[in-house]
Structure 1
Amino acid sequence: MMQLLLRRGAALAFFGLLLAAASVYPAPKLLMAVLLGGYMALLLWRPQAWLVAVPALLPVLDFAPWTGWFFLEELDLLLLATCAAGYWALGRTRAPTKLPGLARLALGLFVLCYAIAAWRGLAPLAPLDANSFANYTSPYNGLRVLKGVLWPVLLLPLLRGTAGDNGSNLQRLLVPGMILGLAACSLAAVWERLAFPGLFNFSSDYRPTAPFSAMHTGGAALDAYLAMSFPFVTLWLVNHPPPRRLALGLAALALGLFAGLTTFSRDIYLAYAAAGGVIAVLGSAHHLRSGTLTGRSMVASALMLVLTYWVLSQVFALGGYRGLGAALGMLATALLLAGAAPRMPQPLVAGGLALLLLLLVGAIGMFGPAGATDKGAYVAYALPLLCAVGGTVLLAAGPQAQRPWGVLLLAAALPAQAVAAALVARHYGGNDALPGIALAIALALAMGASRLLPQPPWKLDRGTLTVSFFSAIVFAALIPISGSYYTGSRFATVGNDLNVRLAHWGEALGMMDDDAMTTAFGQGLGRYPQAFTWQNTHGEVPGTFSYAEEPRNRFLHLGAAQYAQGFGEVLRMLQHVDVQPGKRYQLKLDIRRNSADASPVAMVCLRWLIYPIDCSVAKFGKAPLIEGWQTITGELPVRTARAAWGAPLVLELYNRSHKAPLEVDNVSLVELDTGRELLRNGSFTDANDFWFFSSDRNHMPWHVKNFAVNQLFELGWAGVFATAFLLLAVGARLVSRGLAGDSYAAVCLASLTGCMMVGLFDSITDVPRLSIVFLLVAMAGSLKAARKRIRVKRQRPGAELDADAANLA
């Protein structure tokens, strides 16, 4: 009964907090009520549904660029609703799982260190004002960071209560939720590339941020999330999944791989490699111990994959995408031919068909048009490809008696496909492309000929096909992107960038207070941006903003950015606007300044978060320097239209000066033809409502850029040891289960490992939703079955004598 009362009381408390948060959150109240009410109704009916909903929505439920709010976020409303409905639905249900004792102890110490650091970051309590929950330099920034640890702890009872017997719901619900989140995040990255640099424009330095508004000051939120969610795709590819799940898993693999590689972040390349290595090592070790895999076959497979990657890289170098595609198709035909079980009937028929296809391909190659735009080479490739596709269909879906004819079609197609692949590569890259495609042809013919061996090197089963599809997707994404100019330039600067990072980490530690309490318990949660502003060692002042007040008025104060080397990067205030090309707009604002050097710059640009494109600049006249407020008005000729893929238009406002501050008030953007006001909260009466900000290029003032150094700065050595203890406690359990063949545990360990690889060169814990995912994965991977209590019914004294007397009677 006590447990029921506690859970219902907690549910009511969460519901009250949800109502309070929703009442102040700047979004349509009716829409919020419908969505959150529907979600809570779902959880009351199916409490375990949160295992899908939260991981799936966590990366994409981020509207800070529109609302301006990043202390209280949409994610907080979702989690408040989750806890309110979840705790109520649990009732007196006993949790079927629990955390092991060592993990509980480690988590408790970790949370204690965070609580101490949060208090140190807050103390002494500053009076609340418009900046308290609108600025990273606020002492209350620690509360924002603390959410990343507090929410997983509050969700732990729900996780234990809904995980199912032996954690069955984790694979059934949590894994699909992580994959849905990966897919949504990856699709957002794909859309961003379509809308801005172009999907396959790998020469641009544009690096997507997808749905993570926290990257408005840089950082690696997208990288860390992809590193944590991507390994979960493995669970839809291994252990003989149903065809539909396998197809969805391969699609998620392609999306996640493309999204990750096109960030051009070196840390995510390392993260993907490390996560794959963890899964490969644990999986191979288990199969080696159980005898289902030999070391010889494992080494042979690895060498084959490396050889294939190298050969395809040579093809792509001069044969381009088309040569690579032709080579992949040819190798697929060779793979199917070598592994198909049925014996090939009528070898003479196969030889005759092969000769006919060769003649047709040769004729098209010799007599077809030779222009750069002709399609003869592709028509030539299509003929044997259609033959190979027909053979594949017969092998996969044809009647048993006709499947040998599928082998015949594959054998006939392979020689002609090899010649046609050479034509395609030559058409794209000229004669210089022939050596590369020749290597691929030799490899394909060798693979096809391996069918004649007494024991073929592989069988055409589901496992082989899954590995082949997996490898093809990886090669098709990795080779073009890794071979791009921008990727090469990124890796060319590794040494210099590492030196910059090392100096930055040393500077961060040098800004800590020199006393025993700080050494032990850190500078305090969320204190780094403020520390850099006032204590950086080379006299720089990053661009700042704040909301200031005077009697009956609130306005925006824009500080000037001062850097040791030149102008540096300004801080920009942003608001999404609905403007149309060809219409006339007027921008008006009040300014106050003490130097003529301080002047506003306003423009409307195509922008998602930190890369403005195709800007239209407001034309202000030269305003005289006067005391007090003055109104300036300018024409805003909008030359930019929304792109075909819906790239948003954003008004940005910043202080041009690098010497003097600028105060701004009553910003107004009016459509002259209709008199319609396009800006919300232009008077800043509601502080940061609908106003966001960005630091497009200079990110060092906002992030420590290393997980371990960040923990030391904020939590001190006590926090570092508590973090290490938690990682070791969770990691040891996951390794043990992974070696025993638990693929879910191996994937959880790979997920955490990938995140730590990103953390080598960037901050993670200053983005709460990343901390939430990290700790949820760690806790979900560590759960074990709880012991069932055996209740013994107590009998009152003398009950046995009464029963005997009754029997005698």
Structure 2
Amino acid sequence: MTAAAAPQPARAGPRTASPGGRPLAAGIAALALGAGLWLAAAYPIAPRWVLAAFLLWSALAFLRPAAWLVLVPAALPLLGFASWTGWLTFEEFDLVLLGAAAGGYARAAFAPEAARGRQTPDPANSSDSAQSAAARHARRIPLLSVILLGLFLLSQLVALSRGIADAGGWRFSWDQGYDEPLNSLRLGKSYLLALLMLPLFQRQLAQSTQSADTEHGATRAFSLLSGGMALGLAGAALAAVWERRAFPGLLDFSSDYRTTALFWEMHVGGAALDGFLALTVPFALRELLAARSRLRWLASSALLLLAGYACLTTFSRGVYLAVAVSLGLLAVLGALRSPRGTDGGAQRSVLRYLLQCGLFALAAGAAFLIFRSGGYRSLLAVFGVVALTLPLGVLLRGASPALWLAGFVAGGTMAAAGFLLSWLLPKGPYVVYGLAFALALTFIALYRRGAPRTLLGAALASYVWTLLAAAYVALSWGAMPAFSDAVVVLAGVLALLCYSAVAARPPWPEALRAQAAVFAGLVVLAGAMVVFAGGAYMTGRFSTSERDLDGRLEHWSKGLALLQSPGDWWLGKGLGRFPASYFYGAHGAEFPGSYKVAGVPDGSRHLLLSGPQHLFGFGELFRVSQRVPVVRDGPYRLTLDARASEAARLHLEVCEKHLLYSAGCAIVGVDIRPAAGEWQRVAVQLDTQALAGGSWYAPRLAFFSLAVETRSRVVEIADVNLLDPQGRSLLRNGDFSAGMERWFFTSDRHHLPWHIKNMFLNVLFDQGIVGLLLFLGLLCGALWRLAAGSARAHPLAPYLAASLLGFALVGMFDSLLDVPRVAFLFYFLTTVSLLLRPVRR
């Protein structure tokens, strides 16, 4: 009889917050909670519901401390309602971050992991010891990176104080614009919030490393973050699809309409959507490659197609360059990570990648050739043949010459019969093509499932029929020009099929999922060619690239000329000071217009609305707007009081408009007579016949807007009331008693005064040479660690590097960091990359 084993004392779980650090975590949690409650209580719309939602979110972040890794990036492109609330300095995404910080730091302070009953690793157990070492390894922080992050924080704080001082000193109000002190805080909060969330990410990283919870080599923390980035991209892409469907049309690539999705920050131009797409597209590809289930793989494939559409409809040359280069870097880094062996050496992988790039380039040229004369129908027919070529080229490897001969003869015979059949059917060429494609797809699928080899010959015959039917579709739709182009391209596709069947290794992947990913890439590439070949707008943008670059260089020169003193050059003008400096300091008539809410001794308030100084048309008006519902059963009735010291013309409109581009409009112009202190009563009707309303699944939004049409004139406006045909008031805060609450401004076409249009020059202007050098240190240091440094072995390193490089390329032509939501994500990924360490197994 053996002695009973002595009871082992319960071992506390891995500590992620030391006893000395818990008071600090509790203090941070209290500050974040207090700030969030303050913002939620002041929210312009349903503050009680917002308070409740904030508290629930904070509780969820406490109970599920890893949830924010998914929900924060997923919510980023969706939670921006400034065009409804009128808030500019603060926004809904701030509440999301503050709630995540409140819950996360409270968890670190009051619910250490010991409370969950986890055990510490047993030193006698090699597996536990390895996990403990991995956790310590994950928590280890590179000292140089920490110093760099701290110095950049110091530069940001100096620029924040200089910006507030340059704006006349600190003063607080909820409705400050871009030329007032709180704009410095609006821009400075992004880096501060990124640093606030960084310890929580490191905590989750250490815990997921401790539990050895991995997915394709990435810890659970990184997998969750990657999934959240993909969900955020899905939200932005779906918003882009809705916007295109509601306004110009999904396939309208000729109208002067650039997608903005739900990034309200683009109300004065900029590239918020562009930067977000550049940051997130690499993670969508990662989700596709890491997909284990068929459903997740299909969802990731659909996401990449949606993302491709969103990228194309930005009509941004910077986005096209950034996505192409970042995905190229991703492929090269992936190839260099291949094991060095006879079958997968890094050099061979890179050469194979270059070959595939050449094939993609040929595919792009082929798509352009087909579409220019054959249109969508010919292009779809040819791409159906390409979709069959990818799996069939692999299946035919080792096929006998007899099978090839039989397949071609049978395919030609079937094509001849199909040609005769097409004369008897309505839309015969398309019906016959669909039948041939369905047969080929069926035979390929059956053969892959283990059917007799005779079905491979049937698949080849059906493929040949499909190829010839595609040429007939081109002939029937675009006559001989389209037929000639289609024959050239289809001959090339057939040659690739034959090469794939006889080559030592096919030029595309053998796995079906990888082939589908290649085909998805080809579809996106074809979409780009459609935009170039069939869209006059994009063609025009590329044709003016040289002139646009000259204009951008001139704008950069004007912007940098505003840095006059040594202090400006070394420490910067201050965060967020470019708009005000450019308005009032640039040479020429660059003032775009402005607004201000003023009060009088009796307590009433009114709006002072200024017209621009430059020559302008309809799109260059400076508008103060409010969201209103679309009315189609009668005119809007508008009343307001106005006065001006000089004669001016007031522009009044209700336009179907998402953000910048107007569709149907009801417009009235009113002349305001000069009168010293006397209000002029205005009562007009706005005809709604031009308003369409949109479909139920893609409704059009609308704005009521005020603008001054006369250059350099100021009009005072009070007691604005807009009524629908039933007499219901449609405006909130029409008397401006709550400042600019519910009101929102846009500068639809005149964007240069609001941005310096270069991310690096933006940092130079705001933070000076010192800040720019530190910023370059952050970015280059992160890229170096990911591509060639100590973090290059991490499974997510290529995706992070591609994300940051794409963002930097977009930033070569736009400011980006003046969009707080997007700047937060960039800074967060940069700081994570600087502290990243390879996963230790």
Alignment TM-score, normalising by the size of structure 1: 0.91
Q: Partner letter of residue 569 of structure 2?
A: T
Kindly indicate whether the alpha-carbon contact (under 8 Å) linking 2:626 and 2:705 is maintained by their aligned counterparts in 1: yes
Q: Does 1:142 align with 2:184?
A: yes
Match of 1:522 in 2: 572
- Cα distance change, pair 90–568 in 1 and its aligned pair in 2 (3 A): same
Equivalent-residue separation in structure 2 for 1:67 and 1:194 (angstroms): 25
After TM superposition, the structure 1 = structure 2 runs for residues 340-351 of structure 1, keeping only pairs within 5 Å, are 340=395, 347=403, 350=407
Kindly indicate whether the alpha-carbon contact (under 8 Å) linking 2:272 and 2:822 is maintained by their aligned counterparts in 1: yes
Kindly indicate whether the alpha-carbon contact (under 8 Å) linking 1:666 and 1:683 is maintained by their aligned counterparts in 2: yes
Kindly indicate whether the alpha-carbon contact (under 8 Å) linking 1:337 and 1:451 is maintained by their aligned counterparts in 2: no
Match of 1:375 in 2: 427
Match of 2:275 in 1: 224
Equivalent-residue separation in structure 2 for 1:532 and 1:265 (angstroms): 25
- Cα distance change, pair 454–447 in 1 and its aligned pair in 2 (3 A): closer
Q: Secondary structure at the match of 1:238?
A: helix
Q: Partner letter of residue 765 of structure 1?
A: L
Match of 2:256 in 1: 205
- Cα distance change, pair 784–563 in 1 and its aligned pair in 2 (3 A): closer
Q: Does 1:721 align with 2:773?
A: yes
Equivalent-residue separation in structure 1 for 2:791 and 2:69 (angstroms): 26
User: Post-superposition shift, 1:41?
Assistant: 2.5
Q: 1:500 aligns with which of 551, 561, 569?
A: 551
Q: Partner letter of residue 527 of structure 1?
A: R
Structure 1 runs not aligned, ≥5 long: 789-809
Q: Does 1:193 align with 2:244?
A: yes
Match of 1:73 in 2: 91
Match of 2:23 in 1: 5
Which shifted more, 61-70 or 336-345?
336-345
Q: 1:478 aligns with which of 528, 535, 559?
A: 528
Kindly indicate whether the alpha-carbon contact (under 8 Å) linking 2:230 and 2:287 is maintained by their aligned counterparts in 1: no
Equivalent-residue separation in structure 2 for 1:602 and 1:516 (angstroms): 46
Which shifted more, 135-144 or 340-349?
340-349
Match of 2:194 in 1: 152
Match of 1:53 in 2: 71
Equivalent-residue separation in structure 2 for 1:554 and 1:240 (angstroms): 58
Q: 1:281 aligns with which of 332, 340, 346?
A: 332
User: Post-superposition shift, 1:131?
Assistant: 6.3
- Cα distance change, pair 419–559 in 1 and its aligned pair in 2 (3 A): same
Q: 1:183 aligns with which of 195, 218, 234?
A: 234
Match of 1:678 in 2: 730
- Cα distance change, pair 490–34 in 1 and its aligned pair in 2 (3 A): same
Q: 1:362 aligns with which of 419, 422, 434?
A: 419
- Cα distance change, pair 690–103 in 1 and its aligned pair in 2 (3 A): same
User: Post-superposition shift, 1:301?
Assistant: 3.0
After TM superposition, the structure 1 = structure 2 runs for residues 219-368 of structure 1, keeping only pairs within 5 Å, are 219-238=270-289, 241-287=292-338, 289=340, 292-293=344-345, 294=348, 297-340=352-395, 347=403, 350=407, 353-365=410-422, 367-368=423-424
Q: 1:119 aligns with which of 141, 145, 161?
A: 161
Equivalent-residue separation in structure 1 for 2:73 and 2:817 (angstroms): 17
Equivalent-residue separation in structure 1 for 2:503 and 2:237 (angstroms): 45
- Cα distance change, pair 655–566 in 1 and its aligned pair in 2 (3 A): closer
Kindly indicate whether the alpha-carbon contact (under 8 Å) linking 1:567 and 1:658 is maintained by their aligned counterparts in 2: no
User: Post-superposition shift, 1:617?
Assistant: 1.8
Which shifted more, 547-556 or 184-193?
547-556
Kindly indicate whether the alpha-carbon contact (under 8 Å) linking 1:592 and 1:627 is maintained by their aligned counterparts in 2: yes
- Cα distance change, pair 745–738 in 1 and its aligned pair in 2 (3 A): farther
Kindly indicate whether the alpha-carbon contact (under 8 Å) linking 2:790 and 2:837 is maintained by their aligned counterparts in 1: no
Q: Does 1:442 align with 2:495?
A: no
Q: Partner letter of residue 649 of structure 1?
A: A
Q: Partner letter of residue 326 of structure 1?
A: A
Equivalent-residue separation in structure 2 for 1:619 and 1:140 (angstroms): 34
Q: Percent of aligned positions with the same letter in both sequences?
A: 33
Equivalent-residue separation in structure 2 for 1:239 and 1:537 (angstroms): 54
Kindly indicate whether the alpha-carbon contact (under 8 Å) linking 1:390 and 1:406 is maintained by their aligned counterparts in 2: no
User: Post-superposition shift, 1:503?
Assistant: 0.6
Match of 2:748 in 1: 696
Equivalent-residue separation in structure 1 for 2:700 and 2:418 (angstroms): 45
Equivalent-residue separation in structure 1 for 2:639 and 2:141 (angstroms): 59
Q: Does 1:665 align with 2:691?
A: no
- Cα distance change, pair 543–406 in 1 and its aligned pair in 2 (3 A): farther
Equivalent-residue separation in structure 2 for 1:189 and 1:151 (angstroms): 27
Q: Partner letter of residue 97 of structure 2?
A: L
Q: Does 1:172 align with 2:223?
A: yes
User: Post-superposition shift, 1:561?
Assistant: 0.9
Q: Secondary structure at the match of 2:453?
A: helix
After superposition, the C-alpha distances for 1:612-661 in whole angstroms (9 at most, x for unaligned) are 11111247587674642222111222221411121112101111211321
User: Post-superposition shift, 1:126?
Assistant: 4.1
User: Post-superposition shift, 1:463?
Assistant: 6.3
Q: Secondary structure at the match of 1:525?
A: coil
Equivalent-residue separation in structure 2 for 1:486 and 1:641 (angstroms): 24
Q: Partner letter of residue 44 of structure 1?
A: F
Kindly indicate whether the alpha-carbon contact (under 8 Å) linking 2:176 and 2:182 is maintained by their aligned counterparts in 1: no
Match of 1:490 in 2: 541
User: Post-superposition shift, 1:775?
Assistant: 1.2
- Cα distance change, pair 625–429 in 1 and its aligned pair in 2 (3 A): farther
RMSD: 2.6
Equivalent-residue separation in structure 2 for 1:709 and 1:255 (angstroms): 32
Q: Secondary structure at the match of 1:590?
A: strand
- Cα distance change, pair 361–55 in 1 and its aligned pair in 2 (3 A): same
Equivalent-residue separation in structure 2 for 1:50 and 1:390 (angstroms): 44
Q: Partner letter of residue 211 of structure 1?
A: L
Q: 1:162 aligns with which of 204, 229, 232?
A: 204
Equivalent-residue separation in structure 2 for 1:434 and 1:592 (angstroms): 67
Kindly indicate whether the alpha-carbon contact (under 8 Å) linking 2:230 and 2:280 is maintained by their aligned counterparts in 1: yes
Q: Partner letter of residue 377 of structure 2?
A: R
After superposition, the C-alpha distances for 1:54-88 in whole angstroms (9 at most, x for unaligned) are 00001110000000101110011111111111101
User: Post-superposition shift, 1:583?
Assistant: 2.6
Higher relative contact order (CA 8 A, sep 6+): 1
User: Post-superposition shift, 1:425?
Assistant: 0.9
Kindly indicate whether the alpha-carbon contact (under 8 Å) linking 1:338 and 1:456 is maintained by their aligned counterparts in 2: no
- Cα distance change, pair 605–258 in 1 and its aligned pair in 2 (3 A): same
Equivalent-residue separation in structure 2 for 1:190 and 1:119 (angstroms): 41
Equivalent-residue separation in structure 1 for 2:246 and 2:140 (angstroms): 46
User: Post-superposition shift, 1:33?
Assistant: 3.2
Q: Secondary structure at the match of 2:261?
A: coil
Kindly indicate whether the alpha-carbon contact (under 8 Å) linking 2:329 and 2:802 is maintained by their aligned counterparts in 1: yes
Equivalent-residue separation in structure 2 for 1:576 and 1:498 (angstroms): 36
User: Post-superposition shift, 1:309?
Assistant: 2.7
Kindly indicate whether the alpha-carbon contact (under 8 Å) linking 1:707 and 1:762 is maintained by their aligned counterparts in 2: yes
Q: Does 1:389 align with 2:441?
A: yes
Alignment TM-score, normalising by the size of structure 2: 0.88
Kindly indicate whether the alpha-carbon contact (under 8 Å) linking 1:86 and 1:158 is maintained by their aligned counterparts in 2: yes
Q: Does 1:423 align with 2:472?
A: yes
Equivalent-residue separation in structure 1 for 2:655 and 2:615 (angstroms): 29
User: Post-superposition shift, 1:579?
Assistant: 4.3
Kindly indicate whether the alpha-carbon contact (under 8 Å) linking 2:722 and 2:730 is maintained by their aligned counterparts in 1: yes
Equivalent-residue separation in structure 2 for 1:781 and 1:406 (angstroms): 52
- Cα distance change, pair 378–318 in 1 and its aligned pair in 2 (3 A): same
User: Post-superposition shift, 1:453?
Assistant: 2.6
Equivalent-residue separation in structure 2 for 1:18 and 1:229 (angstroms): 27
Which shifted more, 293-302 or 652-661?
293-302
Kindly indicate whether the alpha-carbon contact (under 8 Å) linking 1:97 and 1:784 is maintained by their aligned counterparts in 2: no
User: Post-superposition shift, 1:252?
Assistant: 1.2
Match of 1:39 in 2: 57
